[in-house]
Amino acid sequence: MVGKAGDAPAPGDRTDTAELRQIEALNRIGPDGRSAAGEGRPDAAAGPDDRGDPGTDTGGAGPDPPVSASPASAPGGSAASSSNAGPGQDPARGRETLLLETGHALAEADRLGDGLRALRRLSTPDFPLDGLVVFGVTEKFLNVLGQSGYRRGGAEQVFRMPVTARFPATEVLGTGRPVFLSSAAQYKRRFAATWPLAERHGRAAWAFLPLVTAGRLTGVLMAAFRTPMRFTADERGLLVEVARLVAQALERTRTSTAELALSRGLRRSMGSAPPEEPGLSVATRYVPTGGGLVVGGDWYDVINLPGGRLALVIGDVQGHDVHAAGLMAQLRTAVHAYAAEGHGPDAVLARASRFLTALDEDRFATCLYIEAEPAAGMLHIARAGHPHPVLRLPDGTCVIRHVRGGLPLGLMPEEHDYPVTDLELRFGEIMMLCTDGLIETGGHDMFSGWVRVRDTMTPGPADDLEGMADRLIRTVQAPGAASGREDRTAGRVPPELDARGPLSPRNEDDIALLLLRRDIGVPAPAVPERRLMLTIEQDQGQGLAEARAELQALLHDWAQPDQVDTAVLLASELVGNVLMHTDQTAVLCASVHGEPGRRELVVEVTDRGDELPHQRTPGELASSGRGLMLLDILSGEWSVRPESEGKTVWFRLQENGSGGERADHAGNAGNGDGGGPPAAR
């Protein structure tokens, strides 16, 4: 008999003596619990890296059966906190963050055994994971496909377990449900016949989980622990996620070797060459879906063009499967070729849209293409349904830079209008391009994700571009980095975001990131300056709303919120006057100078029209005519400045002023003769 009196198995768990002898014979287990091949019991106190671990990746050859010993002396259950969780952070979320990193390592592993060793990084004092084994199943037997944390007894030793035996893994195969054994005593009660196989390995708790691929149970994962475990809901959820990753890895090693090789080749080809011409610095990052392919539908590219120009591309093909990766590779190559041929940004995207439609009419892609002039800092931008870029100003202020765009590539190829936006990247400014995975991963929407990105990009020196890229990626992988307790208590996280509660740190989507900085002669200005320039055309109905949003972002830390509303109102009036009363394009330029608390805002709106504005006295029912009146009442100072072609209307606000009173000398502005008040001093 196996076990002591009082530890007898339940009636439904009994296995007859003949079957037990068959199992012991198959696995060469002697009566003393030692292998017939002569393998001794490993030190039960050894850590995960203390055991020999050559790995086994082919069916049949493998370690002794993965089993455990009587409970260790350490107290059972999991601790209240994890060594991977930061102050105030839920330990389960710390483990999930570590799971994301190990999932990427598993996706990169060439062999299943290497991937299982990577997963053992999840081991912490309160989650003492000490061994992993993957069982495959044939018609009659279980065998070992891969393992980590167990010694092999010899090349001749092959583990086989009849599928009819009372073994935790065979129960999983029969029911499709996990089996959790919290202690050695529980293992011995439920599976007395196979307990001798487990006892000699010195483990104290086990979890057996089904491996499911495409709705089909293809194997069983066993996770063994050094100390007894309670297997809380969080820990069970973590183990189920581990099983999902292992199932994906197992499927790749069985049927997707060629696809994985293709994916890795695409990943290696995504390295960006540094700009050949000085003037711009670039940092790039790519993070695939956690536990999935090494590369998906997201991509970036940096292309050196003739004449010292530089093309920067970021895009996202719909989907995260191998088909999306293949389409991405072809589309990326096509965009690269169109750029090298010398086509402008609009022509590159129009051709790429037609190309994608010819490849697959059911898929679309978003893309943002920039042709840059490094010496001058000029950027020529075309956008196809992609998220807007983010502009970080020299003082750390971040604004969403709204760029006109067209439909995603391949959506309606006959509608290939991709307007080009020209802007100058000033010294010390950084432009960030990313796919939506960076913004929305972890349960965020576009608003709360933008807050996270902004709070991550704002601090730190502009000269550490690589460090900024690393911080952005870590923020996604560790959700407490951008919206943790410190930010909430400091009031930097809006109530809308705070009300969302804990957000998941897992990476649900690929992430492509590209940072661009103009860095020739980066001066450290004695007086910090922010500047914003926008062009609003007559047919751009949404341009006015975007201008308001960017002006508000420029003044995000202005000392007097009422003045921010005043500035947005007056700028809207000036732009609206141009769009309503002329057929010209309005150019809005806003600049902030000075030290915080004593800054000055100057807003200028320029158009090429010859007619100068007139201040009128509208009646109560008049629908217009109040723009200059508001300007006269609310601004600290304003004027009209004739240009060589057209005119500029400007106003000024002082941060330490009243914000609602105008300067005395501005009272005669707009007298209609073109003279008016003095120009900006």
Q: Which two tokens stand for residue 50?
A: 């203390």
Q: Is the pLDDT of residue 486 over 80?
A: no
Domains of the chain are 54-255 (3.30.450.40), 262-518 (3.60.40.10), 529-616+624-666 (3.30.565.10)
Distance CA 250, CA 561 (A): 57
Q: Which range among 36-45, 86-95, 253-262 shows the weakest confidence by mean pLDDT?
A: 36-45
**Per-residue pLDDT band at 478 (split at 50, 70, 90):** low
> Among the residues of 459-542, which ranges form H helices?
465-477, 480-483, 485-489, 495-498
Distance CA 635, CA 596 (A): 19
Beta bridge partners of 221: 134, 209
Q: How crowded is the C-beta side of 215, counted as CA atoms within 13 Å?
A: 0
Q: How far from chain centre, in Å, is Cα 333?
A: 24
User: Distances from the Cα of 173 to the Cαs of 12, 131, 140, 449, in angstroms?
Assistant: 17, 20, 12, 42
Amino acid at 541: G
Q: pTM of the prediction? A: 0.49
Q: Is the pLDDT of residue 154 over 60?
A: no
Q: What's the full length of the chain, in residues?
A: 681
Q: Is the separation of the CB atoms in 413 and 349 below 8 Å? A: no
pLDDT at residue 369, rounded to an integer: 97
Q: Is the separation of the CB atoms in 67 and 149 below 8 Å? A: no
Mean pLDDT of the chain: 73
Q: Which of 373, 369, 430, 448 is nearest to 405 (CA)?
A: 369
Report residue 239: phi and psi, to 5°: -65, -40
**Predicted confidence (pLDDT) per residue in 603-645, tens digit:** 999 998 877 765 555 444 444 455 677 787 888 788 888 887 8
Q: Is 395 exposed, middle or buried (0-12, 13-18, 19+ CB in 10 A)?
A: middle
SS3 263: helix
Q: Which two tokens stand for residue 461?
A: 């020196």
For the stretch 153-178, what's the b/e string if a residue is b when 16 or more beta carbons lie within 10 angstroms of its beta carbon? beeebbbbbeeebbbbbbbbbeeeeb
Q: Is the separation of the CB atoms in 553 and 399 below 8 Å? A: yes
> Among the residues of 9-60, which ranges form H helices?
17-27
Distance CA 487, CA 492 (A): 5
Distance CA 567, CA 592 (A): 12
Q: Which two tokens stand for residue 241?
A: 């996620």
Please count the other Cβ atoms lying within 10 Å of the Cβ belonging to residue 331.
26
Please count the other Cβ atoms lying within 10 Å of the Cβ belonging to residue 545.
11
Which residues neighbour 248 within 8 Å (Cβ) at sequence distance 6 or greater? 107, 213, 291, 292
Q: Which long-range contacts (CB under 8 A, 24 or more apart) does 628-633 make?
A: 628/669, 628/670, 630/569, 630/570, 630/573, 631/570, 631/573, 631/574, 631/669, 632/662, 632/666, 632/667, 632/669, 632/670, 633/662
Report residue 8: phi and psi, to 5°: -65, 145
Give the pLDDT mean for 434-439.
86
**Per-residue pLDDT band at 252 (split at 50, 70, 90):** low
Distance CA 393, CA 592 (A): 11
Q: Is the separation of the CB atoms in 395 and 596 below 8 Å? A: no
User: Distances from the Cα of 250 to the Cαs of 59, 246, 351, 448, in angstroms?
Assistant: 11, 6, 40, 36
Strands, E assignment, 226-292? 280-287
Distance CA 288, CA 420 (A): 30
Please count the other Cβ atoms lying within 10 Å of the Cβ belonging to residue 279.
20
Q: Is the pLDDT of residue 506 over 80?
A: no
pLDDT at residue 460, rounded to an integer: 76
**Predicted confidence (pLDDT) per residue in 326-377, tens digit:** 788 889 889 999 998 888 899 899 999 999 999 887 889 999 999 998 888 8
Give percent above pLDDT 70 in the chain: 67
SS3 496: helix
Q: Is the pLDDT of residue 492 over 50?
A: no
Report residue 420: phi and psi, to 5°: -105, 130
Which residues neighbour 132 within 8 Å (Cβ) at sequence distance 6 or greater? 66, 116, 119, 120, 147, 148, 149, 221, 222, 223, 224, 246
Report residue 113: phi and psi, to 5°: -60, -40
User: Distances from the Cα of 434 to the Cαs of 47, 204, 361, 535, in angstroms?
Assistant: 40, 46, 25, 23
Longest dimension (CA), the chain: 112
Give the pLDDT mean for 516-532.
70
Q: How many helices (H) and strands (E) does the chain have?
A: 19, 21
pLDDT at residue 61, rounded to an integer: 33
Distance CA 554, CA 531 (A): 8
Q: Which two tokens stand for residue 36?
A: 């017939």
pLDDT at residue 489, rounded to an integer: 34
Q: Which two tokens stand for residue 348?
A: 């590159």
Q: Is the pLDDT of residue 274 over 70?
A: yes
Distance CA 319, CA 325 (A): 8
pLDDT at residue 483, rounded to an integer: 39
pLDDT at residue 438, rounded to an integer: 86
Distance CA 652, CA 634 (A): 10
